[in-house]
Structure 1
Amino acid sequence: MEKAYSPRKGESKVYRRWLDANVFHAEPADGRKVYCIVIPPPNVTDRLHVGHALNNTLQDILIRWRRMEGCNTLWMPGTDHASISTQTVVEKRILAEQGLRRTDFQREEFVARVQAWKDEYEACILEQLKAMGCSCDWGRTRFTMDEMCARAVRAAFYRLFADGLIYRGKRLVNWDPATRTVLADDEVEYETVSGHFWYLRYPLVEPVKIGGRTVEHVTVATTRPETMLGDTAVAMNPADPRAQHLLGRKVRLPIVGRVIPIVADAHVVLPGADSGDEKAEFSTGFLKVTPAHDPSDWEIGQRQNLPVINVLAPDGSISDRYGWDDAATPEAQSLLGMDRFEARQAVVDWFRNQGLLEDIRPYTHEVGHSYRSHVPIEPYLSDQWFVAVKKQIPALPDGGLIEGTDVPVNSLAGLALKPLLDGELKLIPERYASVYRA
């Protein structure tokens, strides 16, 4: 007998015996108590890492325990397309190896490159899982874009649409101008950036007397001057002493010439160094409102029923082709086609030359960057699909509301929530139940 145990010499033989005996396979009509885990499908972007090893070991422990208890046990394996992420890594490989970009290929040729990557890394991932001893039912291996899964997605989408449970609407998304793709919130990486607050003067259409003094403009502070091209209002806090004189008045937006209202919104930070809000020391009390290019401004725009004007193209350049229809002045026309950062400097220079740049102050803040391209993201207005989770499902009887909530029993949210409240669904650790309910 050898003094030291060598896993390599025995594990593969034992695993092969398990496979040959089909001990990991489960039949639906078995009749025994069922225990099932659907593996969180690993992305085909790369090989598995130590985190996958830990996660899958824990799943295998549970599966083997229940199998030894006599349950009809299924651990269903598979891999996930992670489509945009996979496309990104393929593009990086092609760029590094051949110096070519996606746009240098015909669609079919590029898709074939992505398919080849998927096949290579899927095979590697499945072999890694087997090398770890995972007791999956390999005959049921799925890929989240295989024909069966794709057909199921289409069928579910159609059914939800037919029942009026999904609808389309506008929403600000995290947009990556470099890869021209939408990012999930957890795909945005925040970096500390040393930037500036630029203080821009917007002339009033009609001067106003406040405290015996004639006021001819209001001053807004912004970290993104280029977005002022899409402003559709200036907001101020109704608690601001100047509000009684200025609310309902109008300003003429520089460069564009658009006349926009001054509206009341409690979201606006009141100026003052004594305020508890760290932005108060930078605030003028006037907020430029650009619903198409800022999440907070979008909310203000919805409350105030403001127009939404998108001044950016998908590549992050200034454009009048995606919702900006009053770029008629020579000044506005001169900005078209400029990169967003080039336009930022051009806008600041214009305000300075016109005597409308009141101040520039250093400001360090967190800016979202794409985890793929590492460029600053843009809040970008896009058509998105929404799920009406609290709407009564037409095909089911009206069961009223879940007690103490505004959630119908027979809504998508209700069908997910009621088993938890009734004790049929248990989350471990229990603290995650509150997260699930939210």
Structure 2
Amino acid sequence: MDYQQRVIDGILDAAFGEIVAIALEGAKGVGKTATASRRAKTVLSLTDPPTRAIVAGNHDLVAEAEPPVFIDEWQLEPQVWDRVRTAVDDDPRSGGRFLLAGSAGVAPGARVHSGAGRIVRLVMRPMAMSERGIQVPAVSLKELHAGGAAVTGTSSLTTKDYVHEILRSGFPGVRDLSEGNRELQLDSYLTRVVDKDLPDNGVRVRRPAALLAWLRAYGAATASTADYTKILDAATAGESNKPARGTVDGYREHLQRLFILDPIAAWIPSFTPLKRLTVSPKHHLVDPALAARMVGIGAQGLLLGEGGVPSPSAGTWLGALFESLAVQSVRTYAAAMRARVGHLRTKTGDHEIDIIVETNDRKITALEVKLSDTIRDDDVKHLHWLKAQMGPLLTDAVILNTGRFAYRRQDGIAVVPLALLGP
């Protein structure tokens, strides 16, 4: 399979020449190995038992090997991290020596230094829309954030095409499989997380079926701020022997450490007149294809409005999955801008913005996501409210939709089909 260029390639190219060690983190299957190995002269894959045994017996090997050295799934031998950190201290000026890839944080109880100041962490997610090779993006998020960007372009995608992209997944190794094998692979992915990945990272799963039921309920709550108690209740409806809340909270933390859960945090601005904002995250899995697969809804069911827990802002559950697809892409583009991504919702629920992109200068771009090919005045009211609150700090306001054309409305709001948005 030919390598598909990723947004993070540009970030790595800009950083790796000067930074000694970079950790590329993210869920299994997002493409970390393919991206990192292209830059390495020495590859040490710790998923290979003989290689792992050699590295475990001699941690100095990682510092003695010909650079750039790529250490895949480094967390399987946590002391490797400290050996890389020491090597950076010994020679902090030799850029591009180490790439580490990991699909989990350090296992509970492992004593490993944070690496702060020595090892730079980058998160890699499944493929954004612009990385999938189905449409050339015409509108840049970076240019929108700079203010006054031109908004033009025509998309060939319809709502059915976006449904196909949701179900096809952003995992590179899954996308090109036949429908039946793709479903089998996604099922296996989720089972492996519970049966192997969590135990491999020091987590004992006493009731695997209960955890899978909770994951299914979490996926059904995609793009909502549903309370975790309600998610647990949905997962154990009709059961008297429910898992303890503390047990489920622990699982949730570990699943986030494995990058399976990828919630979007509430945006809490500093030094602005905005008050009484919710602090609840919006729920997202690493890929909306996993949510659709767990709930068991296919293309026809999604188009008919079946499945899940529709959020007030997204409408149908398909709208929630489309929002999750948009969030997945925007997070990838925002990373190239070194920007933070959050969502905004007032405690009363009167106002809600799906995505806020904020850079260190406090400038923000606000994006609403609508599963529609036409945009009405009512669809932009929250964006106008935010513009009135934030003034010049709001550089642009955008509606991401399923339409054909990118354009700017007379009121200044940019309307951009999701497939046309790029970094």
TM-score (normalised: structure 1): 0.22
Instruction: Tell me which structure has the larger Cα radius of gyration.
Output: 1
| Bigger fraction of residues in helix | 2
TM-score (normalised: structure 2): 0.22
